[in-house]
Every structure is written in C-alpha cells, then in structure tokens.
Structure 1
Amino acid sequence: MLKQWESLSEGSTLNLDEFISNLVFNADGLIPAIAQQHDSKEVLMMAWMNEKSLRETLATQQVCYWSRSRQTYWRKGESSGHRQLLKSMRADCDGDALLLLVDQEGPACHTNRRDCFYYDVNEQGVTVVSSEDAGLA
C-alpha cells in the first residue's frame, strides 16, 4: 500500500492522515505492533492496534493497544504500572506492521517476565529461557 512512497529520499515528510489511511489493517481493523526497547533494541512483545489506539498512542506518547480478548482498549501499564512510553513509531515497507520503540517500565509480559518471547524453539524441542519476575530486576 505504501508503494507510491518507496522512492522518497531520507528526510522526506508525509501527511499523517494520508499515511495512516494507507496502512493495511486486517478484516477486524487491526494491525500488528511490535514493541522494542528503544535503547537496547530488545524485542519485548507483540500486540494489536486499531486506528484509534494508534492515534491515541501518538497523541499521548503512552502506548495503547486493542485487546482482542477483552474487546477494549488496553493502555499498557494502566493496572500494573508497567507502562510503555513511546519514543518512536515506525511502519514497515508494506504498511502492514508497526514497530514501537518504547521505554518499558518494568516487565512487558503479563507473566512478569521482561519480554513475552521466552520460549526458545528448535528442532529438539522448546526451552523456557527466562523466569517469572525476571522483568523486575
């Protein structure tokens, strides 16, 4: 969807509304958003955003997702205090995924692990590579 902008040079600017209207949301109006710690580049989690949560995140700099299980907005850290403060939002070249560079306060995972990617999967099997409360250190 972003094909028309592929040849733009570094530093070019685009209209935000036009850009968002060219993002690829799925049939439920959602786009995957990967949260990454801005300074260490550690991948923390993946969640879903709709247009409203995306715009709220940009406006407040507090990351807001759409919870598919609860069918409501999920402002990361609202109940746990483990907030994600937006440093930068990026879209991939196809406009079908977002990368959120964040400052994660406390663990990102609901299991109290630093990140949600704690299953190491290979041809021999699966190993858990971090413990609960690992995100609290």
Structure 2
Amino acid sequence: MTAETDWLNEVRWDAQGLVPAIAQDWQTGRVLMVAWMNRDALILTVAEQRGIYWSRSRNRLWRKGEESGHIQRLHELRLDCDGDVIVLQVEQLGGMACHTGRTSCFYRRLVDGQWQVVDPVLKSPDEIYRHV
C-alpha cells in the first residue's frame, strides 16, 4: 500500500471484502442504484472517474455501461461516518441506470400496501442489450 491508497484503510469492508455503493445523480440527488464494490472496483472507480462495481452474480468487476453504454461519470465520492457505505455522485450518461430501461432502479413506490410502478421505461431492455 502506498500513500496514494492510504484512504482505502478507512473503508470498513465486510467479511467478503465488499462495501455497499450508492449511485446518486449528481444534480438531482436521486438515488439511481445500489451495488457493491471491492477494493479493486473502488481503486478503478477513482482512477477512471466512472462507476465500476463488483458483480456478485458474475463474480467479476463490472464497469457500469459496459454492455448498455449507460456509463456513470464520477463527480464526487463520499464515505459515510461509519466508513461502511460509499456514495458516488454521478452523471448517468444515457439517462438510464436500471437494466429495465428506467432512470433509477428505485421505480416502485408503496401505495396502500402495494408496490406500484411510478417511473416509465425509457427504452426497452431488448433495445439496450442487443444480443449478438
């Protein structure tokens, strides 16, 4: 570890070496998505100035937008008071953070005991993720 990466020591990683990461729109403050980061993802996020996460389902690093083109350009990185949650303030290129084609992964609201979809699909997933 070098002086350039000493800041990583302040992050409280869980038993799997992960920390939750909240991506938030840098202008509106809206929460776009929640993902996980490992040490490498956090280092690369800072180095490349874009959202890079650890995909638990794929068991590999995941550059947001690598398939969809909807990249997250990093504007600011914050660590919470306990050191166990990261907030990325990002510019969501393409306007969609969710794989369902919506602005945010948080598109359902509890109304009268039922989850209601309150955000429209901006682009169908079939159009976003063209399988070759």
Query: TM-score band, normalised by the shorter chain?
Result: 0.7 to 0.9
What is the TM-score with the length of structure 2 in the denominator? 0.85
Aligned residues: 121
- Any unmatched runs of 5+ in structure 2? 125-132
- Identity level (%): 45
Runs of 4+ with >6 A deviation? none
Aligned equivalent of 1:131? 120
Provide the TM-score with structure 1 as the length reference: 0.82
Show structure 1 runs of 5+ residues with no match: 1-14
| Letter paired with 2:77 | M
The residue that corresponds to 1:62 in the other structure is 50
- CA change 1:112–1:16 in 2 (3 A) is same
Q: CA RMSD in A?
A: 1.7
The answer for the alignment partner of 2:100 in structure 1 is: 111
Distance of 2:60 and 2:34 partners within structure 1: 17
Partner of residue 32, structure 2? 44
Alpha-carbon distance in structure 2 between the residues aligned to 1:120 and 1:112? 17
The AA in structure 1 aligned to 2:63 is R
1:15-49 CA-partner distances (Å, limit 9, x unpaired): 65333112111111110000011111111000000
Alignment partner, residue 35 of structure 1 = 23
For the residues of structure 2 that align with 1:46 and 1:130, how far apart are their CA atoms?
17
